[in-house]
């Protein structure tokens, strides 16, 4: 009996103690703080204002300023080659020698014929002078006078003919030495010593050599016809500049100048061909190679720029998150313009000096953010 009473007493004490603890716990819960999510850390950048160019950017192709296909002007056997494939040539450098002996013989023959005809002319003039004097004394008939005069004219004509033959022979001998007509770079020669070449052979599809002038060099590209008006309008005010670079060297553009606009729009593509000229003394650009061409139309004054990665896409259009003075994020619709490196122009929706979010997650309009890095 005593054991039962003790057990009941202990159980009652435990129940009372539990109730007290529960009551105290409930009382503490009523005063517990309400935990909130901390501000999201975000990277921000300040919109800046500066002058930037307005441009048209297209893919172009390098073209040699001059290209000459060397063809023989006389027929004969190649006896010497005076250059190496790929050599840089100057105007007048000797390239090939065609066997000159047949043409030297023709020159000697022409020289002899010319000398003979000149001697005949001199004799005819002497005879005519004598007849002229005798005619004055009536010791010579008029017929003999006319015959002497005609002999002078015929001899003079033969001298002119032989002189022309002599000049032709000299030219043919000169043509045996083929020289470079321009400054340029030699390609791969298509003949060897001992080959016989034929002058003015329309059946020959290949020239002896192709030489291309690499400095300056052209960059040909096309623009859509709806951009032609802007080009013409800005070109009327000043010469337009271009920047040209290789696809794998975007950081090193070379300056040039727009020098040609084609006189017609291509019927099937609706494009217009343009040509830029740029210096290429180091042969950096190679004919036939593709390049990027940026045609600078004018300068956009006081443009607002932000990092190109800041604008995001939505159903309503591009937008950015602007960090306001109270560190809350505001969703702002913007109108992006042209890109300049890792920056982009904002035409509408943003002012210089405002801060935009460039990095961050779980951002919502009106949410408090923690700018952890400010990029100028």
Domain(s) labelled CATH 1.10.287.470 in the chain stretch across: 101-175
Comparing CA positions, the residue from 184, 231, 187, 196 lying closest to residue 65 is 184
User: What tens-digit pLDDT sequence spans the chain (376 residues)?
Assistant: 333 334 344 344 434 444 444 344 444 445 555 556 678 788 899 999 999 888 999 999 999 999 999 999 999 999 999 999 999 999 999 999 999 999 999 999 999 999 999 999 899 888 888 877 777 676 667 777 788 889 889 999 999 999 999 999 999 999 999 999 999 999 999 999 999 999 877 666 689 999 999 999 999 999 999 999 889 888 877 789 999 999 888 788 999 999 999 999 998 999 999 999 999 999 999 999 999 999 999 888 889 999 998 899 989 999 999 999 888 889 999 999 888 888 999 999 999 989 999 887 778 888 888 887 655 5
**Rounded-to-integer distance, Cα 237 and Cα 258, Å:** 13
Cut 0.75: pTM above it: no
Please list the residue range(s) of the chain that carry CATH number 2.40.420.20. 42-50+302-375
Shortest CA distance to 71 belongs to which of 209, 212, 211, 170? Answer: 209
| CATH code of the domain made up of 101-175 | 1.10.287.470
Tell me the sheet residues that pair with 151.
none
Residue 225 is given by DSSP the state G
- Closest residue by Cα to residue 312 from 357, 353, 347, 342: 357
Strands 369-375 and 40-46: parallel
Residue 192 in tokens: 């060897």
Q: How many degrees, rounded to 5, is the angle at CA 69 between CA 63 and CA 191?
A: 125
| Range(s) of the chain covered by CATH 2.40.30.170 | 56-64+214-300
The sign one gets for the Cα dihedral 178, 179, 182, 188 is positive
CATH of segment(s) 56-64+214-300: 2.40.30.170
CATH of domain 42-50+302-375: 2.40.420.20
């Amino acid at each position: 009996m005593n054991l039962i009473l003790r057990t009941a007493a202990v159980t009652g004490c435990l129940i009372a103690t539990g109730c007290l603890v529960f009551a105290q716990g409930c009382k503490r819960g009523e005063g517990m703080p309400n935990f909130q999510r901390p501000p999201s850390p975000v990277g921000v950048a300040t919109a800046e204002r500066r002058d930037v160019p307005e441009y048209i950017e297209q893919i172009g192709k390098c073209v040699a300023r001059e290209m000459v296909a060397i063809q023989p002007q006389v027929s004969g056997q190649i006896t010497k080659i005076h250059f190496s494939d790929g050599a840089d040539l100057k105007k007048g450098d000797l390239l090939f020698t065609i066997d000159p002996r047949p043409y030297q013989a023709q020159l000697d023959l022409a020289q002899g014929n010319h000398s003979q005809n000149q001697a005949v002319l001199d004799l005819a003039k002497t005879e005519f002078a004598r007849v002229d004097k005798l005619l004055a004394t009536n010791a010579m008939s008029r017929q003999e006078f006319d015959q002497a005069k005609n002999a002078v004219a015929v001899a003079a004509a033969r001298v002119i003919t032989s002189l022309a033959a002599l000049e032709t022979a000299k030219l043919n001998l000169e043509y045996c030495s083929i020289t470079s007509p321009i400054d340029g770079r030699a390609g791969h020669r298509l003949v060897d010593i001992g080959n016989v070449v034929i002058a003015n052979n329309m059946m020959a599809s290949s020239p002896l050599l192709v030489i291309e002038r690499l400095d300056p060099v052209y960059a040909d590209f096309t623009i859509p016809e709806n951009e032609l008006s802007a080009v013409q309008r800005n070109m009327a005010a000043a010469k337009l500049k271009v920047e040209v670079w290789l696809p794998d060297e975007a950081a090193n553009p070379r300056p040039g100048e727009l020098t040609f606009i084609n006189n017609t729009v291509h019927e099937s593509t609706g494009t217009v061909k343009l040509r830029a000229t740029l210096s290429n003394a180091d042969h950096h650009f190679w004919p036939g190679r593709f390049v990027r061409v940026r045609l600078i139309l004018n300068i956009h004054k006081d443009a607002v720029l932000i990092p190109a990665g800041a604008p995001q896409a939505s159903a309503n259009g591009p937008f950015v998150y602007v960090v306001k003075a109270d560190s809350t994020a505001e969703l702002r619709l913007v109108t992006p313009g042209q890109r300049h490196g890792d920056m982009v122009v904002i035409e509408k929706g943003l002012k210089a000096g405002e801060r935009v979010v460039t990095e961050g997650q779980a951002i919502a309009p009106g949410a408090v953010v923690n700018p952890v890095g400010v990029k100028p």
